[in-house]
Structure formats: structure tokens, C-alpha cells
């Protein structure tokens, strides 16, 4: 018989507060067209994106996260010292170590919480939310701060016609805490590593460290290009449209509800065509509010779901207590979907 005392946390968990931060600079498609041979009409028809936000030098990954976190903590009605863990999903923090979560925890005044980063691309928020739920139910933390943050403008090749218009910057955060009722459903998550090459970094970092620079890509001026995110657009589009609708349905089934029970649908804000195709495949009723934040925010990867959630609540398009289906999917290829009650 084990001598280990069993963990005793809350029976369930829920999202208690949400906050977002978008950089002050708004970048219209016309700026993107300075570097690529395309048109505003083509960009909008392919992605639905009209504008995106790009961070200034002062709007760092940490700075944007601190702003979003402060709003989420205030919205949750708790103090930062009550945060027992900080989980940050990002692919654009350029220090291998330490985790940016530790700096964020210190700057918000959280004391000495557990703090770590995860790399799960555009599914990162769903991964972090699932980890937070587990910590609360297990009893290792009472309140967990989950942050999705990206400065993808740093990883964008502005001369790549396939991706130059896609990416934006920003941070979204939620506070997850204890609940007497289930408000975060089972997570349907997974990966398809055989498709990993469809979204990837153009050049690995080690090629800049004593490697053969003659093989590195050059820009139109002959300078070595900084590593960027590249993707096989059609392959990713087909996967997202046909496979992720199945995952979304599995999340509804796992939560024990149907599309008719939903109030809100918050998919990863990758592409408006993908979002609209998923809505059609899932046969969502007209009463379901659908997040289309991608139109003015672009693809912010791990930040896109909490940013879209925050905007829907702030504009009154969604309300506290609504039942929402959230799904993230991207590089890996990885995915995560669950049903939540909005804070």
C-alpha cells in the first residue's frame, strides 16, 4: 500500500478572468504590399485579414504579457500574490533559457509561483489551459495564469508572398481557478508529427553558430535572412478544414453537448476561410457567435484564442456564462479543443 498522501484540490476548474494586449501600431495590407507582388483584394480573399498589430521595440514578449496578465488578474478579482503557477505559450521568446514565465511572474508581483514556458504553436493556449485545469484539480495550485503571447513580426519574412501578410503580435491571458461545477470540459488534443514540415522555421538556429553561411537564404539586398516561419499553405488549409472540424466535434461529444447547446465558437484565428469552413462543417446554428478577430488582428498563434475571447466579451458579442467551444491548431502539427464557460 502506498504511503503517499493523496492530492486534494478543487473538484473542478474554470476560467475566472481574461485580458488582452494588442500593440499600438496597426499595420494595413498596404504596408505588406510594399515588399510582395500581391493586392489587398488577394490578401483579404485568401485570409480575411485587413490589418494586424506589430510590436514596437518596447512592446516585448514580457511587456505585452504583463499588460494582458494584469487585466486578467483584475478581471478574476484576485491578487497577483494568489497565483500559484504561470504557464506561457510562445514560440517568439528568443532566449533559450530562462523561461520568460519566470520574468513575467516576478513583474506582476506573483511571489514565487511555478513558472514555465511551453511550445505548442497555435494550439499552445489549449495546452496551457489543460495543464492549468490539472494543477487546480490535483491541488498543486489554486490559481493558474495561462498566457499566450507572440511577436511573430520578428519571425516573418516580408518577402515571402505566402506568409508575409499572415502574422501579428499580441498577448492574451486567462486566470484559471477552482470551481464546484465543471466549466472546462475534457480536452481533445494530439499531434500529427508526420506533417511537421508543413509549418516550420526556415533555418535552424545552429546554422548561425559556426555553420556554413553560404547555404543561408538571402533577401533582395543580398543580406542573410533571419529565420522565419514558413508553411505549405494548401496542405495546412486542407488539414485544418477537414481534420480540425472532426476534433471540434469530438470536443463537443466529450463535453456531452451538441452544437445547439453552444453560445460561442472561438477557433484559432489563422484564416477566415478556415473558420467559415469549420462553421459550415460543424453545422453551427445561427445563434452561435463566431470569433473572427483575424480580420483586424491577423494570426497571433498562441495568443489568438484568448485575444479573441477578450474582444468578444469586451464588445458584448459574448457574455459571462456563455458556453464556448475553443480549438487551436498549428505547427507540429498539433491541436487542442475543449468546451469552456466564459468568465
Task: Examine the residue annotation and report whether 271 is marked as an active-site residue of this protein.
Answer: no
C-alpha 274/C-alpha 268 separation (Å) is 9
| Catalytic residue (choose from 53, 93, 183, 268) | 268
C-alpha 220/C-alpha 239 separation (Å) is 32
C-alpha 183/C-alpha 139 separation (Å) is 17
Of 68, 123, 114, whose CA–CA distance to 91 is shortest? 123
| Catalytic residue (choose from 29, 53, 271, 299) | 299
Note whether 19 and 148 are within 8 A (CB): no
C-alpha 242/C-alpha 274 separation (Å) is 9
- Contacts with 128 (C-beta within 8 Å, 6 or more apart), sequence order: 87, 88, 89, 118, 120, 146, 147, 148, 302
| Catalytic residue (choose from 53, 122, 183, 271) | 122
Backbone φ and ψ for 37, nearest 5 degrees, come out as -90, 95
Task: Examine the residue annotation and report whether 287 is marked as an active-site residue of this protein.
Answer: no
Q: What does the DSSP 8-state code read for residue 285?
A: -
Cis bond before residue 333 (omega within 30° of 0): yes
- Contacts with 72 (C-beta within 8 Å, 6 or more apart), sequence order: 17, 18, 19, 145, 173, 174, 175
E strands in the chain? 12-21, 25-28, 51-54, 83-89, 114-118, 143-151, 169-179, 188-191, 199-201, 229-231, 264-267, 289-290, 323-330, 334-341
> Beta-carbon neighbour count of residue 260 at 10 Å?
10
* Residues designated catalytic: 122, 268, 299
Amino acid at each position: 500500500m502506498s504511503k503517499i498522501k493523496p492530492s486534494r484540490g478543487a473538484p473542478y476548474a474554470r476560467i475566472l478572468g481574461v485580458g488582452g494586449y494588442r500593440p499600438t501600431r496597426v499595420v494595413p495590407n498596404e504596408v505588406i504590399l510594399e515588399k510582395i507582388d500581391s493586392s489587398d483584394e488577394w490578401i483579404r480573399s485568401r485570409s480575411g485579414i485587413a490589418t494586424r498589430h506589430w510590436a514596437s521595440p518596447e512592446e516585448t514578449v514580457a511587456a505585452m504579457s504583463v499588460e494582458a496578465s494584469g487585466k486578467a488578474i483584475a478581471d478574476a478579482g484576485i491578487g497577483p500574490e494568489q497565483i500559484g503557477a504561470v504557464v506561457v505559450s510562445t514560440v517568439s521568446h528568443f532566449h533559450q533559457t530562462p523561461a520568460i514565465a519566470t520574468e513575467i511572474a516576478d513583474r506582476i508581483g506573483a511571489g514565487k509561483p511555478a513558472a514555465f514556458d511551453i511550445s505548442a504553436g497555435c494550439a499552445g493556449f489549449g495546452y496551457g489551459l489543460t495543464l492549468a485545469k490539472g494543477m487546480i484539480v490535483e491541488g498543486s495550485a489554486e490559481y493558474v495564469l495561462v498566457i499566450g503571447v507572440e511577436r511573430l513580426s520578428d519571425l516573418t519574412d516580408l518577402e515571402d508572398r505566402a506568409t508575409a501578410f499572415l502574422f501579428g503580435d499580441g498577448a492574451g491571458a486567462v486566470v484559471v481557478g477552482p470551481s464546484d461545477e465543471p466549466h472546462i470540459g475534457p480536452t481533445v488534443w494530439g499531434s500529427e508529427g508526420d506533417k511537421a514540415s508543413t509549418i516550420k522555421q526556415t533555418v535552424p538556429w545552429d546554422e548561425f553558430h559556426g555553420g556554413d553561411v553560404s547555404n543561408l537564404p538571402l533577401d533582395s539586398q543580398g543580406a542573410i535572412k533571419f529565420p522565419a516561419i514558413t508553411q505549405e499553405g494548401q496542405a495546412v488549409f486542407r488539414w485544418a478544414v477537414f481534420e480540425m472540424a472532426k476534433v471540434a466535434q469530438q470536443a463537443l461529444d466529450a463535453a456531452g453537448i451538441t452544437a445547439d447547446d453552444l453560445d460561442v465558437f472561438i477557433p484559432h484565428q489563422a484564416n477566415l476561410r478556415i473558420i467559415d469552413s469549420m462553421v459550415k462543417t460543424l453545422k453551427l446554428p445561427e445563434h452561435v457567435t463566431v470569433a473572427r478577430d483575424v480580420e483586424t488582428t491577423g494570426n497571433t498563434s498562441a495568443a489568438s484564442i484568448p485575444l479573441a475571447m477578450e474582444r468578444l466579451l469586451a464588445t458584448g458579442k459574448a457574455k459571462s456564462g456563455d458556453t464556448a467551444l475553443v480549438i487551436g491548431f498549428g505547427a507540429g502539427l498539433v491541436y487542442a479543443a475543449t468546451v469552456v464557460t466564459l468568465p
